[in-house]
Structure 1
Amino acid sequence: MGMLKDDAALLALFEQLALAAGAAIMRHYDAGCEVHQKADDTPVTAADRAAEKVILDGFRDARLATPCVSEEAASGGVIPVCGDGDFILVDPLDGTREFIARRPDFTVNIGLIRNGAPVAGVIFAPARDLLYSARPGAAFEVMVVDGQPDERRTIRARPRQNPPVIVASRSHCTDETRAFIDRHPGAETTSIGSSLKFCMIARGDADLYPRFGRTMQWDTAAGDAILRAAGGMARTLEGAPLTYGPKGGEGLEAFASPFFIAETAPV
Structure 2
Amino acid sequence: MNQLLNQAISVAVKAGEAIMAIYDTDFAQYEKQDSSPLTEADLASHRMIIDGLSNFSDLPVLSEESSEAEMDWDIRRQWQKYWLIDPLDGTKEFINKNGEFTVNIALIENGKSILGVVYCPAIGRLYYGAQGIGAYKVENGQQASPIQVAANPIDKQSWKIVGSRRHGIETLNQFASALGDVEPVSMGSSLKLCLVAEGAAHLYPRLAPTCEWDTAAAQAIVEQAGGQVLKPDLSPLEYGRKQELLNPFFIVCNRADERWTRTFTELSN
Band of TM-score, shorter chain: 0.7 to 0.9
The amino acid of 1:70's aligned partner reads S
Runs of 4+ in structure 1 over 6 Å off: none
Structure 1: unaligned runs, 5 residues or longer: 1-6, 37-42, 249-253
The amino acid of 1:223's aligned partner reads A
The CA deviation at 1:66 is: 1.0
Q: Is the 8 A contact 1:160 1:266 kept in 2?
A: no
1:215 to 210, 217, 225: 210
Structure of greater Rg: 2
The CA deviation at 1:103 is: 0.6
- Name the SS of the counterpart of 2:179 in structure 1: coil
Show the 5 A alignment for 1:38-53. Answer: 44-53=38-47
- Name the SS of the counterpart of 2:98 in structure 1: coil
* Pair 1:264-2:254 in alignment: yes
1:144 to 140, 145, 157: 140
Equivalent residue, structure 2, for 1:28: 22
The CA deviation at 1:206 is: 0.4
- Across the aligned residues of Structure 1 and Structure 2, the Cα RMSD in angstroms comes to 2.0
Equivalent residue, structure 1, for 2:152: 160
Equivalent residue, structure 1, for 2:197: 202
Range moving further from structure 2, 158-167 or 12-21: 158-167
The amino acid of 1:79's aligned partner reads M
Deviations 1:135-170 (A, max 9, x none): 12500001234xxxx311100111112431000011
Deviations 1:26-84 (A, max 9, x none): 11111145599xxxxxx95210110011000112222x11111000124x543263325
Scaled by the length of structure 1, the TM-score of the pair is 0.86
Q: Is the 8 A contact 1:163 1:184 kept in 2?
A: no
Q: Is the 8 A contact 2:38 2:95 kept in 1?
A: no
- Name the SS of the counterpart of 1:255 in structure 2: coil
CA distance in 1, matches of 2:130, 2:227: 13
CA distance in 1, matches of 2:18, 2:166: 24
Deviations 1:207-264 (A, max 9, x none): 100111111000000011000000011101111110110414xxxxx21110111112
- Name the SS of the counterpart of 1:72 in structure 2: coil
The CA deviation at 1:110 is: 0.4
Q: How many residues get paired?
A: 244
Equivalent residue, structure 2, for 1:71: 64
Q: Is the 8 A contact 1:157 1:265 kept in 2?
A: no
Q: Is the 8 A contact 1:112 1:121 kept in 2?
A: yes
More strand by share: 1
Q: Is the 8 A contact 2:8 2:53 kept in 1?
A: no
Q: Is the 8 A contact 2:112 2:238 kept in 1?
A: yes
Q: Is the 8 A contact 1:159 1:266 kept in 2?
A: no
Deviations 1:170-199 (A, max 9, x none): 121332212111111111011000000111
CA distance in 1, matches of 2:189, 2:89: 6
Identity %: 38
Structure 2: unaligned runs, 5 residues or longer: 258-269
2:82 to 69, 76, 87: 87
Scaled by the length of structure 2, the TM-score of the pair is 0.85
CA distance in 2, matches of 1:85, 1:32: 43
1:113 to 108, 114, 118: 108
1:237 to 232, 256, 261: 232
The amino acid of 2:180's aligned partner reads P
